[in-house]
Chain A
């Protein structure tokens, strides 16, 4: 059965048909959620919630790309999780040192977001470095660059998935790439040799 047939069967209540679609797209959905959220546990929850919501709202699927329709639900769940994190920040507003019960002078939120030289030296994993730069992007830019540059979606699919016109997708993607380019300059020593050499030649 193809994708549309499975979706139609799932719309009629066939849970097995829907689970076959889940098996097809669960890795893609989880990876998008992970790159947007930057946390495996949050990505796990968002992905599971997205599949449950997709099954409950299958009636809203009216043909077309099931992948784009499903990724729209995934990105919406990611936005919900990001909003929840903003409402309930894990960092305390007034951090207290438990030893002397005095306020910490340099709490996390007044620190510079960019990694310090020591942090950069400690970051030995390119994946973490790239993810760090992705996390510094605005949410709207982050979603677009993850879907296009990491998950290889085309512009139309992204436009359908996030409900924005093509011009917005192009603009957000270009600005996201510019910021990522600048951020990744701090991790030049972690880049693969082919990128580093070309980069040094250009610079």
Chain B
């Protein structure tokens, strides 16, 4: 028999069929012996179940005042806490998302335009080198070229022992290449380090005839490193210039002392800018973490509140 036929027979013995369904079934029962047998088995089963004795109650279930006013469990009292924290976390999450996409995005975009490869520290350093003012590189001694130029200027204008016009008139082209001129004057190991432009230098006797002020220059040039082709990076910042000697005899602005020689001085505002960029980079990184934490808090407290509420209802 099909389950539908069993259901019809079951409803028939409970008098739950309509008049039309009942008539159709009774018509089938007259002809179908299997159907009659099934109907009889169902009737016996129902009658047997109806014979089951009633169980006596072990005690009265009436309620006392203590039972109905029993204190709610401690966990049930946490329902307002969990529900409120869930709602609060949800609101904060929404606010943070709105802040990020409504307000924070233009700022982030501007920051990303300023430092497109801000995620990598090395790239940042490269960009900082390109964009920031160049640092001051202080070599071992005072710059030879500066020394020579200053020395020449000093000799030309301030020395007073020899008149300047002869220098200007005798060697106008050598004046233009004054830094290399000193190198050409230098003797000893420095000469070996000099490169091609040095070979084009005019002879020292022609370049500076009778200039006593320049006689000290070759001695200083002996201690200079080979600086041909090395850029002279001078910082125009208003920092206090390093002390030095002019022509090895006195202090001069922009020339380092012996202790400061060989150091690279970065501008102070460059460090500040780097810290500001790093801090501004950290802010957008922290935002998703805060959102994740808020989401987890909202879900956890909301689930706890739901479970407590469900338990209270049951």
Contact = CB atoms under 8 A, between A and B. Distances in A.
Nearest to B11: A170
Given A127-B53, A149-B50, A174-B7, A181 B42 contact: yes
Interface string B36-65: 010011101111111111111111111101
A18 B64 CA distance: 11
A202 interface: yes
Contacts of A47: 57, 61
A184 interface: yes
B60 A26 contact: yes
Contacts of B41: 181, 199, 202
Interface in A158-174: 170-171, 173-174
Nearest to B68: A55
Contacts of B53: 127
B200 interface: no
Contacts of B57: 26-27, 30, 47
A29 interface: yes
A174 B10 contact: yes
Interface string A64-106: 0000000000001100100000000000000000000000000
Contacts of A202: 37, 40-41
B140 to A, nearest CB: 82
Contact of B68 (A15, A77, A149, A198): A15
B270 to A, nearest CB: 65
A19 B63 contact: yes
A174 B3 contact: yes
B61 A48 contact: yes
Contacts of A44: 58-59
Contacts of B42: 177-178, 181
Contacts of A77: 314
Nearest to B53: A127
A174 B11 contact: yes
Given A52-B67, A181-B41, A130 B52 contact: yes
B6 A174 contact: yes
Contacts of A56: 68
Nearest to A35: B52
Interface in B1-36: 3, 6-7, 9-11, 14, 16
A148 interface: yes
Given A52-B67, A177-B42, A198-B40, A145 B49 contact: yes
Interface residues of B, number: 37
Contacts of B6: 174-175, 177-178
Contacts of B60: 22-23, 26
A53 B313 CA distance: 8
A188 B102 CA distance: 78
B62 A184 contact: no
A77 to B, nearest CB: 8
Interface string A8-51: 00000001001100110011011100110000100110011001
B257 to A, nearest CB: 82
A170 B50 CA distance: 18
B65 A15 contact: yes
Interface in A172-201: 173-175, 177-178, 180-181, 184, 191-192, 195, 198-199
A171 B3 CA distance: 9
Contacts of A148: 14
A52 B58 CA distance: 17
B54 A26 contact: no
A195 B44 CA distance: 7
A133 B89 CA distance: 52
Interface of B: 3, 6-7, 9-11, 14, 16, 37, 40-42, 44-63, 65, 67-68, 313-314
26 contacts: A15-B68, A19-B63, A22-B60, A22-B62, A22-B63, A30-B57, A40-B55, A44-B58, A44-B59, A52-B68, A56-B68, A80-B314, A145-B49, A148-B14, A149-B45, A149-B50, A170-B11, A174-B7, A175-B7, A177-B6, A177-B45, A180-B49, A184-B48, A192-B51, A198-B44, A202-B41
Given A130-B52, A198-B40, 14 more contacts: A19-B62, A22-B60, A23-B60, A29-B61, A31-B55, A53-B314, A173-B10, A174-B3, A175-B6, A175-B7, A180-B49, A181-B42, A181-B44, A195-B44
Of all A-B residue pairs in the complex, the 6 with the closest CB atoms, nearest first, are: A174-B10, A174-B7, A149-B49, A19-B62, A26-B61, A181-B45
